[in-house]
Chains A and B, each alone.
Chain A
Amino acid sequence: MAYVIAAPCIDHLDQACVTVCPVDCISHDPAADRKAYIDPDACIECGACESACPQGAIMLDSRLPGAWAAFAEIDRGWWIDPEWARAAVDAVDAQVA
């Protein structure tokens, strides 16, 4: 399991999660990304990011509601293919909105 950053982060990017993450596993490209991404392989499930997020955007992947289920794959995918992840974020955001 790992924590995932879901839709409420989009276009907010508060980054409180980045500040508190003890293992520095949250990142984004400020010039290109609309949200931050958690590296699921580095996440230690401490929950510090979940508590810190003012948007309530972060939760364990096992607790993602159905409408946000894709974000587990999006977060994992960003560390492989950021362009794919950005397109997916745009698509999910358009569908949720």
Chain B
Amino acid sequence: MVVEIAPRTFADGPRTFADGPRGVRRAPDFADNAVLVARDLLSPTVARLVVRPDAGVAPFVAGQYLALGVRVDDRIVQRPYSTASDPEHADAHEFLVRHVPDGALTPRLWELPVGSRVRLGPPKGAFTLLGDDQRAHLFVATGTGLAPFLGMLRTLARRQNPPRTILVHGAARTEDLVCGDEIASLAAGGLPMTYVPTISRPDDPANRAWKGRTGRAEAVLASVLRSAELPPEGLSAYLCGNPGMVAAAEIALLAHGVAPADIHAERYWTAAATTA
């Protein structure tokens, strides 16, 4: 299709579509507006980054994501990460970040000195808890997909009568089952929780000492649904992480009788997984 611009008075005279735009590219205004205040290696490939916005933490809801970016030459390289922070007590955002060796962003985040300036976008997304939902909450995560659930669990733990919660966390290696101590402390603090970590590659030498469950998160989910006496109408399900896991878990939940409206999903999309 040949596009012809209809006659129009431009500031610099007549032209056609083929002439193309004239001028200098205007980049979006992505000013550095936050500081990297901590980076804790939780495993060889997963770090917890703590980022404090200059203007303080804007109101957000557990489960939302923010764009985290660093300046490279004259542009910002950024990717969205779910915040793991508790909205009621956050003076910074915690992110779980998996290192991607050939990625555009994560190698830089690994090398960035603590105290460096970064760009943090506004909180976004609708992958959040339903208010006052007393049904059992089933969380299924792979890898760093655990992050939004940490914020949600912290939020639920503050409720006077928190609902029953089940957390299935899958990872390829035991070392990537991060934040187990925090999860245990939430349970010890009164949150009625069943924590089900699972390893998808039991034959990997790195998992030799693992004595817990094995199998992919979605497969373990099926057995949890069978054994945990979870009636489908009394269940709110939240899925986060690998898109393949999310799709398979959705099928398992629907087969169990869970209504589509009670299944909430956040996919850590494929493009980011390979280029983050």
User: Interface of A with B (CB < 8 Å)?
Assistant: 19-25, 27, 39, 41-42, 44-47, 66-67, 69-70, 73, 76-81, 83-85, 87-88, 90-92, 94-95
Contacts and interface: CB of A to CB of B under 8 A. Distances in A.
Nearest to A93: B6
Nearest to A46: B269
Contacts of B57: none
A22 B65 contact: yes
Interface residues of B, number: 38
A88 B28 contact: no
Interface in B1-52: 1, 3-6, 8, 10-11, 15, 17, 19-28, 30
B272 interface: yes
A84 B80 contact: no
Given A67-B1, A85-B21, 19 more contacts: A22-B124, A23-B121, A24-B28, A41-B75, A42-B27, A42-B76, A44-B78, A46-B272, A77-B20, A77-B21, A78-B21, A80-B22, A81-B22, A84-B10, A84-B15, A84-B22, A90-B6, A91-B3, A91-B4
A79 B124 contact: no
Nearest to A22: B80
Nearest to B17: A88
29 contacts: A22-B67, A22-B121, A23-B69, A23-B79, A24-B30, A24-B121, A24-B122, A25-B28, A39-B27, A42-B76, A44-B78, A45-B271, A47-B269, A47-B271, A77-B21, A78-B21, A79-B25, A79-B26, A80-B22, A80-B24, A81-B21, A81-B23, A84-B10, A84-B19, A84-B21, A87-B8, A88-B3, A90-B5, A91-B6
Q: Looking at A27, A67, A88, A94, which has the most chain B CB atoms within 10 Å of its CB?
A: A88
Contacts of B122: 24
Contacts of B10: 83-84, 87
Contacts of A69: 1
A80 B124 contact: no
Contacts of B113: none
Interface in B143-165: none
B1 A91 contact: no
B125 interface: yes
B1 A70 contact: yes
Given A46-B80, A46-B271, A70-B3, A80 B21 contact: yes
A95 B2 CA distance: 10
A44 B271 contact: yes
Q: Tell me if B's interface is mostly helix, strand, loop or mixed.
A: loop
A-B pairs, 7 with minimum CB distance: A81-B21, A22-B80, A77-B21, A80-B21, A87-B5, A84-B21, A45-B271
A22 B64 CA distance: 10
A85 B23 CA distance: 12
A95 B3 contact: yes
B266 to A, nearest CB: 10
A42 B75 CA distance: 9
A39 B6 contact: no
A88 B3 CA distance: 7
B89 to A, nearest CB: 24
B100 to A, nearest CB: 13
Q: Looking at A24, A27, A95, which has the most chain B CB atoms within 10 Å of its CB?
A: A24
A57 B128 CA distance: 26
A91 B40 CA distance: 54
Contacts of A76: 21
Nearest to A39: B28
